[in-house]
Chains A and B, each alone.
Chain A
Amino acid sequence: MSPSEDIARVYRFLSQCMQYPDTEWMNEEFFNVLYNLLGTLGALEDGVTIKKEIDNSADPIEDLQVEYTRLFINGVPHVVAPPYGSVYMDKALQGTFAGNTLAFYREKGFGMEDDADFPDHLIHELEFLSLMAEEHDLAGEEEFLKKLFRPWYGLFQARVTEEAHHPYYRVIVQLIDFFTKEEEKDGFQPNKA
């Protein structure tokens, strides 16, 4: 294992964290990995906050499904934080930003499966970062972060942090921020909530 391979796993894990909640993967073992990761980053408190919310719920996965839907798919009066770069950069779904993202994937030799979401979906961008790390393409990873990830991610993160009812998503968006941000910023900041 080289550092890049560990980082590739982190991106892949974060991508999984942003999938629609399902008991198939979102189980006790998953949460233990998450708490463990938060613990190593000095953010055990965040893990405790999530655990409390989950332990106090009759159906924690359904809670998360409802929250996921409200935040990222469809909410009343409107969806809180669509996880697509174009929404923030072009003010439209599937704008030129999505096209530029796909062009970057292709330039690096990757294409998308037919049943994939739009190329600028957060999950796919994290998946791509994982692939870049796996291939030890540090320059590619950094260029992608700078040009196609960071420009919109902060806006997305701010909306989630502001509007999320469940601590899980507030913490996950901050975890993603920690692993994708520029070097000069501070370390992992414990969640205020």
Chain B
Amino acid sequence: MQYGMIIDLERCVGCHACTIACRAEWEVPVPYQRNWVKRLGPTMTDDGMASTYYPGLCNHCDKPPCVAECPADPVEMTFTAKNSKTKTMNVAATWKDPFDGSVQIDKDRCLGCGACADACPYGARYVNPALADDDSAGKADKCTYCKPRVEAGLDPACVQTCITGARIFGDLSDPNSAVSQYVKKGAKGLEVKGGHIGPNSRYYGNKKDMGLLFADYTPELADMASVKRRAMMASMVKPAMKKAKDIGILGLAGAMLVKGFSENEDNK
């Protein structure tokens, strides 16, 4: 079994109901997010004028690069399938479930180091400071495909709330499921450049919108050596920089670079 989600770009109207439902369901603090909707275009593409949205979330990848980076001590964990079959594996504080294919986190064992967040090419993980404890500045967090809701027989919150039915959740390994039907029609995941990690949140749409989405948001795999080096540097500077933030030095001079200029405005 492999849970997956289809996002039908032909139906998405960019209303953000999914992002709000997710935030409410999981008490995700601003500015973090487990899912997001970014507007793309309107812009001219080779296939004509394209305008769409990028509703993103954890892709619960076949080979999740985040899982391999977790430095927490592995423990033996027994997983149980719906049919009561069990499987025991050694896992760090984050793993890919052997039965439903979702990627999950054990917050009790998470160190809050953030290496997984930097390893995710989609930016789907964050370290939630609201969950800080004596040993950490927060805990890694992300979309779980609403595992507790799904186990209770409900749809994920974003799927339930979507006003146009643009989000479809189901089992990609069942050829008769609605999600598999979409894959047959051409739904595709945002696979990383030059790699294969197998994203299981997939997109379906017309050629020009899909072209725009994939041109703008095809990610690259992070260089793991530099991810590790950053994690080490970050842990060194963390106390001094926290103090710098607390006393208000950071950004005192005011930001001179501002978000919101698109490439298209360049030199016009």
Contact = CB atoms under 8 A, between A and B. Distances in A.
A103 B243 CA distance: 34
Contacts of A56: none
Nearest to B262: A109
B58 to A, nearest CB: 14
Contacts of A115: 256
Contacts of A105: 257, 261
Among A103, A117, A136, which residue has the most Cβ atoms of chain B within 10 A?
A136
Given A6-B237, A37-B237, A40-B237, A116 B250 contact: no
A3 B126 contact: no
B30 interface: no
B117 A136 contact: yes
B81 interface: no
A151 B124 CA distance: 33
Interface string B228-242: 011101111111110
A1 B114 contact: yes
* Range class of the A interface residue count: 35 or more
A6 B234 CA distance: 5
B14 interface: no
A6 B112 CA distance: 13
Contacts of B251: 12, 16
Interface stretch (B42-50, B149-157, B180-188, B218-226): B218-226
Interface in B127-176: 127, 129, 137-138
A106 B268 CA distance: 12
Interface in A82-96: none
A161 interface: no
A9 interface: yes
A30 B248 CA distance: 9
Interface of A: 1-7, 9-10, 12-13, 15-16, 19, 24-25, 29-30, 32-33, 36-37, 40-41, 103, 105-107, 109-113, 115-117, 123-124, 127-128, 131, 135-136, 138-139, 142, 179, 183
What 8 A-B pairs have minimum CB-CB distances, sorted nearest first? A111-B261, A2-B114, A3-B234, A6-B234, A116-B256, A9-B241, A37-B240, A2-B117
8 contacts: A3-B118, A16-B250, A29-B247, A29-B249, A110-B258, A112-B256, A138-B118, A138-B223
Interface of B: 112-115, 117-118, 123, 125-127, 129, 137-138, 220, 222-223, 225-227, 229-231, 233-241, 243-245, 247, 249-253, 255-263, 265-266
